[in-house]
Amino acid sequence: MSSHNSYKRQTKRFISSKKLRVSVIGLGFVGLSIALVNSKKGFTTIGVDVNKEKIRNLKKGIPDFFEPGIENYLDYCLKSNLIKFTTNLEETLFNTDLTFVCVGTPPKNDGTIDLKYIKNAICDIHKILKSKKKYHLLIIKSTVFPQTTKDVVLPVFSDLLKKGLVDVVMNPEFLREGYAIKDILEPHLIVIGGNSKHGGQILEKYYRNFYGKLPEIIHCDPTTAELIKYANNAFLATKISFINSIANICQNLPGVDVNVISKAIGKDRRIGPLFLNAGPGFGGSCLPKDLSALINFSKRYDNTDMLFSAVEKVNKTQPIKVLNLIKKINLLKPSKTISVLGLAFKKDTDDIRAATSIEIVKKLIKNKLIVKVHDPKAMDNFKKIFGNKIIYCQTVDECIKNSDCCLILTEWDSYKKLSPQKFKKLMKKPNIIDARRILDPKKFSKLNLQAIGLGN
C-alpha cells in the first residue's frame, strides 16, 4: 500500500469523524479562551503549557488574567470534566487529532518579533509526531511575520509532510480582549491558510462541526493568511490615529467636538462607525506590536514606508496631547495632586501592556505631581511597574478626594456613570480631563472639563 493511499484513507476517516479531539499549546489569553470554548462545545480538549504554575492554577480554576466570562467557563469545564490541563506535550499530541498553536510572539526592541517560543514548540511537536505515526493537523494561531509558516514551520515538518502525516494551517485570530468568548463564538470571518488543500478541508470540517452553520471563510496560502492578520490590525490602528489627528485639530476650534465628527463620517458606509473613538492612543499587546512589526517588515522591501510609521508616530505623540491638557490648565506642576481613573489599555481587561497610562504616569511622576490611581481590575499589574511611587486607591471616591485634577484614561462603564456633583463635592477643585470622551460635556458644563477633541 503506498503511503499516499494510506494518507488519503486516514484523512478521509479524519474528516468524517464527528468530533475531532482538540489540543491547544500555549494557554495565554488566546489559547485558554479557545481551549475553554472548545471544551464547552463538547470537543475533547487538552490544554498544554510549559509553565507549571499556570497549569497548577488552571487545574484549581484560577486563570492568570482577567477576561469576562473566562472564570465561569473554566469553572464549568473543570467541574464537568470537559477539559484537561497538562505540561505533558507527548501525551497531549498522542491523544488529540488537531492542535492549535497559540504560543506568544513577543516584540523585540528592534520592532521585530521573537519567534523562539514558536520555534521551540514546533521542534518539540515534530519530534513527538514522528513517533505518533498518525495524521495530525497543526493550526498556527500565533501572529507571525509573513512567510514564517513557509520558511520556519514547514521545513521542520518536511519529512512528515512528504508522508502525508501532517498538515499545517495558518489560521489567524481576530478576537479582542474583553470579548474573547463572543468573538470565538461569532467570528466575522475565518481565514484558512493551508499548506495543502487537505489541511484546509479538515479545518473547515472542524469549524462546520463547531459552528453548525459555517461563518464566512477565506481560503488562501499561509503567507496571505499571515499578512491578513497584520493588515487587519494595521488598518484598525490607522483608523484610531486618523481620528486622534482630527481630535487634535478639533481641540483648537471652540465649539467643535470630535465625537460629532466621528458620528457624521461613520455614517458614510465606506468609512463605517467603529474604531473612530478619539482617545489617549491605542495600547495593548497587539496593535502597537503588530504595527511596529509591519513597519519593520515592509522596510525590508521598501525603505520609504510612510503610512505605518506615521500611524505609529501619531500614537506615540497622543499621550503628550493628554499632558498638554493638564499643562493648559496650569496643573502640570510639582506637588499638585492628580487622580488617574483607569489604567488598563481599554475597559474590561486587567491588561496594561503598552497602555498609555504607563507613559502618562511616568511623566506625571517626572513632573513631581502626587499621583493617585484607580482601576477596577488593573491595579495589581500597575503596582508591578510603579511600586510605591504612586498611591493606589480602592474606590473612585478615595482617588478623587482632595485632588487638583482628575484624568480619565480608560473607558470603564462605572466611570461613565460618575456625576458632576461627585467631582464637585470630593475634589479640591473640579478640574477634569476626559481623555476617553466618556463624560457628557453638557452635563459637566459647570465644571472645568477639558477633553480630547473638544474645542472650548
List active site positions. Answer: 286
Stretch of 19-27, 58-66, 283-291, 325-333 lying at the interface with ligand UGA (CB under 6 A): 283-291
- Report the residue number, 164 or 283, with the smaller CB distance to ligand UGA: 283
Q: Does 233 bind ligand UGA (CB under 6 A)?
A: yes
d(CA 94, CA 133): 9
- Residue 442 Cβ vs ligand UGA, minimum distance, rounded to whole Å: 22
- Residue 22 Cβ vs ligand UGA, minimum distance, rounded to whole Å: 20
Among 11, 38, 105, 277, indicate the residue that binds ligand UGA (CB under 6 A): 277
- Report the residue number, 98 or 276, with the smaller CB distance to ligand UGA: 276
Among 31, 279, 319, 453, indicate the residue that binds ligand UGA (CB under 6 A): 279
Stretch of 8-16, 125-133, 280-288, 389-397 lying at the interface with ligand UGA (CB under 6 A): 280-288
- Report the residue number, 78 or 101, with the smaller CB distance to ligand UGA: 101
- Residue 374 Cβ vs ligand UGA, minimum distance, rounded to whole Å: 17
- Residue 65 Cβ vs ligand UGA, minimum distance, rounded to whole Å: 12
Q: Does 287 bind ligand UGA (CB under 6 A)?
A: yes
Let me know the angle formed at the C-alpha of 339 by 336 and 340, rounded to the nearest 5 degrees.
Answer: 130
Q: Which amino acid would we find at residue 324?
A: N
**Total residues in contact with ligand UGA, by rule CB under 6 A:** 19
For helices 356-366 and 379-386, give the axis angle rounded to 10 degrees.
40
Let me know the angle formed at the C-alpha of 164 by 161 and 166, rounded to the nearest 5 degrees.
Answer: 60
Q: Which of residues 372-431 bind ligand UGA (CB under 6 A)?
A: none
Q: Does 346 bind ligand UGA (CB under 6 A)?
A: yes
Among 93, 115, 236, 258, indicate the residue that binds ligand UGA (CB under 6 A): 236
Stretch of 200-208, 271-279, 304-312, 364-372 lying at the interface with ligand UGA (CB under 6 A): 271-279
Among 284, 319, 430, 453, indicate the residue that binds ligand UGA (CB under 6 A): 284
- Residue 141 Cβ vs ligand UGA, minimum distance, rounded to whole Å: 9
Q: Which of residues 149-208 bind ligand UGA (CB under 6 A)?
A: 173-177
- Residue 225 Cβ vs ligand UGA, minimum distance, rounded to whole Å: 14
Q: Does 345 bind ligand UGA (CB under 6 A)?
A: yes
In the block, cell 506642576 appears at 333
Q: Which of residues 108-137 bind ligand UGA (CB under 6 A)?
A: none
Q: Which amino acid would we find at residue 207?
A: Y
* Beta-strand pair 98-101/83-86: unpaired
- Report the residue number, 13 or 235, with the smaller CB distance to ligand UGA: 235
- CA 246 distance to own-chain centroid: 25
- Residue 321 Cβ vs ligand UGA, minimum distance, rounded to whole Å: 13
Secondary structure of 423-442 as H, E, C letters: HHHHCCCCEEEECCCCCCCC
- Report the residue number, 29 or 386, with the smaller CB distance to ligand UGA: 29
- Report the residue number, 284 or 430, with the smaller CB distance to ligand UGA: 284
- Report the residue number, 167 or 173, with the smaller CB distance to ligand UGA: 173
d(CA 424, CA 400): 10
Let me know: does 32 contact 63? Beta carbons within 8 Å.
Answer: yes
**Torsion sign (Cα): 124, 93, 53, 170:** positive
- CA 338 distance to own-chain centroid: 29
Q: Does 298 bind ligand UGA (CB under 6 A)?
A: no
Positions that interact with ligand UGA (CB under 6 A): 173-177, 233, 236, 240, 275-277, 279, 282-284, 286-287, 345-346
